[in-house]
């Protein structure tokens, strides 16, 4: 790495995506583009952040246990009954992202957890840079951001800015919580950035000792680990036979742990559990996915 750039990293808390790409080009010894930086973030290898240059309007919140989440009753469409739902964003079997009704202004640099509409914004930017197709998906939860101290935020917009909303229905005062709804995307004047600490984490990851110099797992050890994962999944009441659904739930847990693993990687490992079960069945008593999941 260039000595000048290395010194610069010590003085800056974050870099723009183009500067981060230049840094990674030196680190990897090959050209790294802005699109590559965004792809690393989308795939869970690098934490991407957002700089709210002109502040943003948000509801703040935190992750709480499912047992502490507020339950609300919503009337059914026919009006003959109600159904109960969790107030907040359900993250996993025992986690809920709960937001305050208070509307606040946030600024500075926040991280992008890639759980809400913020992921679509990043994907949209990536597709633009790579001449890919338009991203037409939506996420009604709005863009989510968080900080290392555990504070979360959901970006919201005022109904007065929505041309389809009847302004006569606005509540008083103007900042009444009912006058806001989850934004469709991040503010147009916000800037994607990468914390220097995130770049250092990535550098540490790729600088780990080459696994080729370590003793590889033999098939028996590998299958034993897969069977252990399957047993732990059973204890956690995660049906690994439904690998796509289970991968999403496990990904969210890895995010809560601060070490995200991409769903595709998780799904591939979960699918291997079945092969390990078949192998164990051939050597001894027949084991089936239903016996462990």
Q: pTM for the whole thing?
A: 0.68
Number of helices followed by number of strands (H, E) in the chain: 9, 11
> Domain-by-domain residue ranges, the chain?
3-205, 217-292
Give 129-178 pLDDT, tens digit per residue.
999 999 999 999 999 999 999 999 999 999 999 988 999 999 999 999 99
Question: For position 293, what pLDDT does the model report?
Answer: 43
* pLDDT > 90? residue 52: yes
Query: Given this model, what pLDDT does residue 251 score?
Result: 82
Please write the tens of the pLDDT for every residue from 79-94: 777 878 888 888 876 8
Q: How far apart are CA 17 and CA 30, in angstroms?
A: 16
pLDDT band at 288 (very low <50, low <70, confident <90, very high): very low
Whether 64 contacts 92, CB under 8 Å: no
What lies within 8 Å, CB to CB, of 276 at 6+ separation is 222, 223, 226, 227, 230
């Amino acid at each position: 790495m260039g000595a000048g750039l290395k010194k610069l990293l010590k003085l800056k808390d974050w870099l723009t995506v183009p500067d981060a790409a230049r840094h990674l080009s030196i680190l990897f010894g090959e050209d790294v583009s802005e699109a590559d930086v965004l792809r690393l973030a989308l795939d869970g290898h690098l934490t991407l952040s957002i700089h709210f240059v002109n502040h943003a309007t948000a509801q703040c919140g935190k992750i709480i246990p499912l047992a502490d989440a507020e339950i609300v009753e919503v009337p059914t469409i026919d009006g003959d009954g109600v159904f109960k739902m969790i107030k907040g964003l359900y993250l996993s079997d025992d986690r809920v992202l709960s937001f305050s009704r208070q509307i606040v202004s946030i600024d500075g640099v926040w991280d992008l957890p890639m759980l809400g509409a913020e992921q679509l914004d990043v994907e949209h930017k990536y597709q633009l840079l790579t001449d890919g197709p338009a991203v037409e998906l939506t996420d009604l939860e709005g863009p989510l951001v968080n900080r290392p101290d555990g504070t979360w935020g959901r970006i919201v917009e005022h109904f007065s800015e929505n041309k389809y909303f009847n302004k006569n229905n606005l509540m008083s005062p103007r900042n009444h919580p009912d006058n806001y709804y989850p934004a469709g995307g991040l503010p147009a004047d916000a800037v994607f950035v990468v914390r220097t600490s995130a770049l250092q984490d990535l550098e540490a990851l790729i600088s780990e000792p080459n696994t080729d110099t370590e003793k590889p797992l033999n098939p028996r050890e590998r299958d034993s680990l897969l069977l252990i994962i399957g047993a732990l999944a059973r204890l956690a009441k995660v049906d690994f036979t439904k690998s796509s659904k289970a991968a999403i739930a496990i990904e969210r847990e890895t995010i809560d742990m601060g070490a995200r693993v991409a769903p595709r990687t998780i799904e591939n490992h979960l699918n291997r559990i079945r092969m390990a079960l078949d192998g164990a069945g051939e050597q001894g008593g027949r084991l089936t996915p239903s016996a462990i999941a």
